[in-house]
């Protein structure tokens, strides 16, 4: 799970466009961007990702659109 704390001025369409670029880029790094949650009022974005390691996930964001997350944590999913 990564977190973009406050992406100034980002709209839902901007986030969707960036996510699309992630999906186009991720394959060569063995990464899968699964979902993201967006708070448009505050510019906050959470991205859930399957990746071999943090660095691979970061690389996809950097190459796809350059908006690297502020933090990233290795998590287990629970229901």
- According to the binding rule CB under 8 A, does residue 73 interact with a copy of itself? yes
- According to the binding rule CB under 8 A, does residue 31 interact with a copy of itself? no
From the list 11, 27, 30, 42, which residue makes contact with a copy of itself (rule: CB under 8 A)? 42
Residue 66 or 71 having the CB closest to a copy of itself: 71
Q: Which of 1, 59, 10 is nearest to 35 (CA)?
A: 1
- According to the binding rule CB under 8 A, does residue 4 interact with a copy of itself? no
CA distance 56 to 30: 8
Q: Give the dihedral sign, CA 12/17/18/23.
A: positive
- According to the binding rule CB under 8 A, does residue 8 interact with a copy of itself? no
């Amino acid at each position: 799970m990564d977190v973009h704390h406050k992406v100034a001025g980002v709209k839902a369409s901007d986030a969707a466009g960036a996510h699309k670029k992630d999906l186009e880029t991720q394959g060569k790094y063995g990464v899968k961007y699964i979902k993201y949650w967006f708070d448009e009022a505050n510019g906050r974005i959470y991205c859930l990702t399957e990746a071999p390691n943090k660095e691979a996930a970061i690389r996809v964001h950097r190459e796809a659109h350059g908006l690297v997350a502020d933090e990233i944590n290795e998590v287990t999913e629970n229901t």
